[in-house]
Structure 1
Amino acid sequence: MPSQMSQVPAISPVSIRERIGSINTAEIISVLKGELTALHIKQAFSTEVAEKITTNFVGSAGLKERNDGVPGQYVGASHYRKDAASYFADAEKARPHVEALFENLVDPVRAIFGALKRELHNKGIELRLARSEHGRANVCRALSWSGTGTFSLAPHDDVAQVLCAGNDYELSAVAHNTVAAFNFYPSIPEEGGNLRLWSHKPTVIDRKSQGVETTGYPYSAAYLEDVPCRDFQLKAGDIALIDGGFVHGVTGRSGDGKRRLVLNCFFGFARPDLVLWWT
């Protein structure tokens, strides 16, 4: 009975690197190529910059509540469950608010985007923001997940939403390669808010069996019960880069201390000579 078979998640091997310092482009390319599953760089950008970004987020005129079934507040645009016209229109509208998060600061996201762009250019590969006739993507979005209970953000994968994005998106081609999720953390609660990564990379059949074929969200605790997982203990100023094809989520926060704020973007190979970047 194939439907029963697909209920048992296959365990996928993971390769993880954690260290202190600044991120390098070779490591980023390793994740893009699927050689490295997750990279956690501690103290990757300054706490002063982190605090200022957090203050700018809280006071942003562009701060909104998500209304797409995923609880949280955000500044920026999300392609999740949107057609290309809506997403790129949102991205254009949100651009000044995203830029304002980094007012008078050295923007850690754009710094890495620039370094990676130069490195890939040397290899004959173009890196650029995803675009359409309606506009172009922003370099990141800022998110503060607000789910309650075991998870602030329920277990999910990032591939389904790219695979099912639709033909009017150039980024749907990335789903056949590694969809990398890049996370920069300006603020993290004292307890909880960890990034949890399961050793499972769902297939289309797995997603169908779980009823998450087009969204990749959410996977049930029962489905993941026997799958090994790893928690990344995050602090403000950290960066995490993961293969978004693996199931991952954010553990619940305890107490009512600091908010958990993440600057997030996605990127991956659309063609051997083109890497797209979007939110």
Structure 2
Amino acid sequence: METAHASQVSSIAPVALRERTGSISTAEIVSMLKGEITGLHIKRAFSIEVAEEISANFIRNPGRKERKDGVPGQYIGASHYKKDAATYFAESETARPFVDALFGNLVDPVRGLFDALKRELSGHGIELRLARSEHGQANVCRALWWSGTGTYALEPHDDVAQVLCAGNGYELAAVANNIVVALNFYPSMPEEGGNLRIWSHKPTVADRKSQSVETTGYPYSTDYLKAVPSHDFKLNVGDAALIDGGFIHGVTRQFGNGKRRLLLNSFFGFARPDLVLWWT
């Protein structure tokens, strides 16, 4: 009997969502870091030509691997999820040439955003840099596609638990006390589905305990969320999305033309008032 899965959410949280077409504004990103915007969907944030080339580079990249941490999918790069700092940063260093190969000679939309935000924050006396340790430095992004075949391609989860419980050697754990922003660029999308769904619920430590996801934030049951309002960002190739990763979110089932939902993913947030860290 899974009594935890029968638990109801403790609170419904208001969400502030924006959707528009065009380039990403650094002012909007700063608003997200301050918690003023919950989710931002930018349509046609980067070119279809760049998207298609990144997708092709992902398919032929020798650094592509299957995830083995209980979250079905393939990836290039490194994830701190369920790893100690030494392992994560060592894997980041090993993966760096494969991440770089995703872009080749292309204008890298992730690095472009990172550099623009770095300039913006520097003007306010705030440093933006990649997370690091004596074992290495984080990559600017990772590339992945989810291959779950149930109701969700990626089950409902939050991104704060895994940061809060990152463990010794991670300077990024301090970000969990603030807003953990998840950034996604979409070089490939299926014909139907693969939407980014955000629920109006930002779980507490007690909520995570009730669902037995205290250290991972993954996955929350559909029973737990059935009474919670949600919103879908319906994504297309060339789109970008940023969300407050403390809110529960997931990826809806994929259908259609055989194309996979490929994304470039990063996380960032304030570790101190004068420091924003960026990692994968």
Shorter-chain TM-score: which interval?
over 0.9
Residue of structure 1 in register with 2:250 after alignment:
249
Give the RMSD, CA atoms, in angstroms: 1.3
1:5, CA displacement in angstroms?
11
2:148 matched residue in structure 1? 147
Which shows bigger deviation, 78-87 or 246-255? Answer: 246-255
Amino acid of the structure 2 residue aligned with 1:239 = A
Percent identical:
74
**In structure 2, distance between residues paired with 1:20 and 1:5:** 40
The CA distance in 1 between the partners of 2:138 and 2:5, in whole Å, is 40
- In the other structure, the counterpart of 1:76 is 77
Unaligned runs of 5+ in 2: none
Contact 2:33 2:270 in 1 (8 A): yes
Query: Matched residue of 1:171: which SS?
Result: helix
SS of equivalent to 1:262: strand
Per the alignment, residue 197 of structure 2 pairs with 196
Asked whether the equivalents of residues 198 and 231 of structure 2 are also in contact (C-alpha less than 8 Å), the reply is yes
Q: What is the correspondence of 1:38-49 to structure 2 with a 5 Å cutoff?
A: 38-49=39-50
Quote the Cα distance in structure 2 between the aligned partners of 1:167 and 1:151: 32
Partner of residue 16, structure 1: 17
For structure 1, the residue ranges without an aligned partner over 5 or more in a row are none
Is residue 6–residue 205 contact of structure 1 (8 Å, CA) maintained in 2?
no
Matched residue SS, 1:85: helix
> Secondary structure at 2:192's aligned position in 1?
coil
CA distance in 2 between partners of 1:163 and 1:152 (Å): 25
Structure 1 stretches of 4+ with a deviation exceeding 2 A read 3-9
5 Å matches for 1:125-164? 125-164=126-165
Alignment partner of 1:260 is 2:264: no
What SS class does the counterpart of residue 153 from structure 1 fall into?
Answer: strand
Q: Matches of 2:258 and 2:17 in 1, distance apart?
A: 29
1:192-229 residue CA offsets vs partner (Å, 9 max, x unmatched): 00000000000000000000000000000000000000
1:6 to partner: Cα distance = 6.4
Secondary structure at 1:67's aligned position in 2?
A: coil
Aligned counterparts of 2:6 and 2:122: Cα–Cα separation in 1 = 44
- Deviations, residues 41-65 of structure 1 (Å, cap 9, x unaligned): 0000000000000000000010000
Deviations 1:209-258 (A, max 9, x none): 00000000000000000000000100000000000000000000123521
Kept in 1: contact 2:184–2:266 (CA 8 A): yes
8 Å CA contact 2:203, 2:246 repeated in 1: yes
Tell me, in whole angstroms, the C-alpha distance in 2 between the residues paired with 1:152 and 1:26: 31
The 5-angstrom pairing of residues 162-173 of structure 1 reads: 162-173=163-174
CA distance in 2, matches of 1:61, 1:274: 35
1:53-112 deviations in whole A, cap 9, x for unaligned?
Answer: 000000001000000000000000000000000000000000000000000100000000
* Structure 1 position 111 matched with structure 2 position 112: yes
Contact 2:202 2:248 survives alignment (8 Å): yes
Distance 2:5 2:85 in 1: 35
Partner residue in 2 for 1:55: 56
Q: 1:11 is paired with a residue of what secondary structure?
A: coil
Kept after mapping to 2: 8 A contact 1:7/1:209? no
Question: 1:222: which partner in 2?
Answer: 223
Instruction: Give the Cα–Cα distance (whole angstroms) in 2 for the partners of residues 29 and 209 of structure 1.
Output: 33
- Give the C-alpha shift of residue 278 in structure 1: 0.1
> How big is the shift at 1:4?
11
Aligned length: 277
Deviations 1:8-54 (A, max 9, x none): 34100000010000011000011111000000000000000000000
Partner of 1:233: 234
